[in-house]
Structure 1
């Protein structure tokens, strides 16, 4: 297995292959008529758009390295061979959410939107901190220092999300700044039906555990511990999302969750965040 170990800024993840794949890989589901969640290995991408009405869509996040072909194929299967995205919107810029981004922007000639605080990692100025293996005994956490942490440079393709909290080409949605996991992390919310696209502000699988990641054992969990650098902000972000009373939540990792299970699980996470989410040991806890 080859991994990117150095801290140079690189636009590709050609040397990166993670041999971790969940049992739900490639098994997409329509959470709403216009919200389609597709697991790519261990991370979710989301298509926003109703194929009954249009061949156009917005892509939320850009998956694992080497997944561009799978993403394009899934888009064509859902929206037609001549489909075209209006934009790509990022919840944040970690490697498993931008793995196919450079290839996709070349193929689709499309703009990318992210929070302004995330732009240094997407314009070649900065790298993320390395993964912290001390946060948990799980194998994924132990592997995290080998995960790519380098930024990428999207040049003129990357733009800041609008200051008025609207989301380009997604009428009815608004973005919410949910930092903690990264400085410019955002979640997306639609007030009309209380649909929430979480990113990694919280997840529905214990992301540090290899077994649970592979089996997609569903349980609400805080943000992936090994990459989360500001736990106070992470706690505040989860509280802000719980206050929205979402009806359905599509997270960056794990299966979508809805109804009473979501309501009760999210309330429990907020009330017991320090015990459930914050690692006992981490260079970032204090």
Structure 2
């Protein structure tokens, strides 16, 4: 079961396709889709070197695309002030070790995510019994081992602020991973949710290919804590965002997006988890 988002203009965020297929959704926010996942650039194009932040680093093989997009948007040789990781799953850290070294850039993450980013701990095995398509059956092939960026790894400020992103706050949205975070800007109600909620199904290769706009919980096969995940989805819905940018799927905006997000949050236990768990996770 999924929550359909109508394809009206108030659901699909207005996008301008920029250089290197960047999709600009605010003057200072653009995202780049790398196969099945998005990376996000926060900063005005005029910001230049060290004037922007990169959120997540995509899949293995994405380094050249990310570097090319950064140069096209911010100028040749422009480097981010920080790389902020929403979490450390393989499809979000594919270029992290190389980019952080090449750019000599700090990596920001929640302390509970540090073991997966400093070489200490692998993620738990995937749930191959999760329903929804073929991808859960293939998930054992996906990397779970940690990367090691300990030399540049930094802890997000405990007060929720982000020095490199004035006006933004990070929110702890666990469940998909222990230290998963989302980003929130109150001024224009912009939410960068990572995988706490996503706008396309990740269990079906067909849905991944089509990028059909639907509101979903995080990928079922890599989400071990559905109680915390439900709580995180409800916390995000309560923000009443105007723009939603997620780790998978297209950016969404407006009343239809909010209605779908609220529906997901209110009926999370009946919609988001694997079928065998639906209705069993307490509201929390």
Normalising to structure 1: TM-score of the pair?
0.88
- Partner residue in 1 for 2:236: 241
Separation in 2, partners of 1:196, 1:33: 15
- How many angstroms does 1:84 deviate by? 1.6
Q: Name 2:12's counterpart in structure 1.
A: none
RMSD of aligned residue pairs (Cα, Å): 1.3
SS of equivalent residue, structure 2 residue 82: strand
Q: Tell me, yes or no, if the aligned pair for 2:47 and 2:74 is still in contact at 8 Å.
A: no
Of the candidates 31, 41, 45, which is equivalent to residue 37 of structure 1? 31
Q: How far did 1:82 drift?
A: 2.5
Alpha-carbon distance in 1 for matches of 2:133, 2:265: 23
Task: Tell me how far apart the structure 2 counterparts of residues 193 and 183 of structure 1 sit (CA, whole Å).
Answer: 28
2:114 alignment partner, SS class: helix
Q: Could you list the per-position Cα deviations for residues 35-75 of structure 1 after superposition, in whole angstroms to 9, with x for gaps in the alignment?
A: 00110111000000001344421000001011111100010
2:261 maps to 1:266: yes
- 1:94 maps to what in 2? 89
Alignment partner of 1:184: what SS?
coil
Matches within 5 A, 1:1-286: 27-55=21-49, 56-281=51-276
Q: Tell which deviates more after alignment, 148-157 or 226-235.
A: 148-157
Residue 16 of structure 2 is matched in structure 1 by none
Partner deviation per Cα, 1:13-32 (whole Å, 9 max, x = no partner): xxxxxxxxxxxxx6321110
Q: Deviations over 1:88-116 (max 9, x none)?
A: 00000001000000110121010000000
Q: Which residue of 1 aligns with 2:15?
A: none
Supply the distance in 2 between the matched residues of 1:87 and 1:224 (Cα, whole angstroms): 26
Superposition TM-score, scaled by structure 2 size: 0.89
Tell me the CA shift for residue 147 of structure 1: 0.5
Structure 1 Cα separation of the partners of residues 197 and 170 of structure 2? 16
Correspondence for 1:21: none
Distance of 1:121 and 1:210 partners within structure 2: 26
Equivalenced residue count is 259
Q: Helix, strand or coil for the counterpart of 2:258?
A: helix
Q: C-alpha separation between the residues in 2 aligned to 1:137 and 1:236? A: 22
**Runs in 1 of length 4+ with deviation above 3 angstroms?**
52-55
Deviates more, 1:26-35 or 1:164-173: 26-35
Equivalent residues of 1:115, 1:185 under 8 A apart: yes
Does structure 2 conserve the Cα–Cα contact (< 8 Å) formed by 1:87 and 1:168? no
